[in-house]
Amino acid sequence: MSLDLSFAGRIYPPTAPYQVGREKIREFATAIGATDAAHHDPAAARALGHPDVVAPPTFPVLITMAACRQIVEDPALGVDYSRVVHGDQRFAYTRPVVAGDELVCVNTIEEVTTRGGHGFLTTRTDVTDAAGEPVVAVWSRIVVRGEA
């Protein structure tokens, strides 16, 4: 089954807010071995000018990957998730994610193509805070491998 190319440019409704927890940032930082005090100790984060502990740069993927389910699980688009390989990933920050943030994601399908029997899907997720201010834009490109 191939991808429906007409999905290019589609913008999805905003996701329910994700509450960024201090313990979740600590857990994630520990899992990747990030020991800097600003990921763990609110006082150390405040000394850098942040209201609470700072998330490592790839942390938002927890939020955006869940948010992108509204795309990849849309049967009309035709992504066979068992054949998906992660192609590219990018984070472009306006400011770091910190504990206490309530983040909302808006997904846009930037590109849908097929080439050599494989499907390629590029999504951009614009992540904003409770005030509606931009926090980070996240691009993800997945490859849906064709049947060999």
Partner 1 sequence: MELPTQTFRVTRVDLIRYAGASGDFNPIHWSDRFATSVGLPGVIAHGMFTMALVGRAVTTWAGAPDAVVDLGVRFTRPVVVPDDDEGTEIEVTAVVKGVTEDGLTRLDVTATCRGEKVLSQARAIVRTPR
Closest CA to 135 of 79, 99, 81, 92: 92
Contact 22, 138 (CB under 8 A): no
Contact 54, 38 (CB under 8 A): yes
Nearer to partner 1, 50 or 104 (CB): 50
Least Å from the CB of residue 3 to partner 1: 20
Indicate the Cα dihedral angle 19, 24, 28, 29, nearest 10°. 100
Contact 13, 108 (CB under 8 A): no
Positions in the binding site for partner 1 (CB under 8 A)? 27-28, 30-34, 36, 38-39, 48, 50, 54, 56-58, 61-62, 65-66, 82, 85-93, 96, 139
Nearer to partner 1, 17 or 87 (CB): 87
Nearer to partner 1, 73 or 90 (CB): 90
Nearer to partner 1, 13 or 35 (CB): 35
Least Å from the CB of residue 44 to partner 1: 9
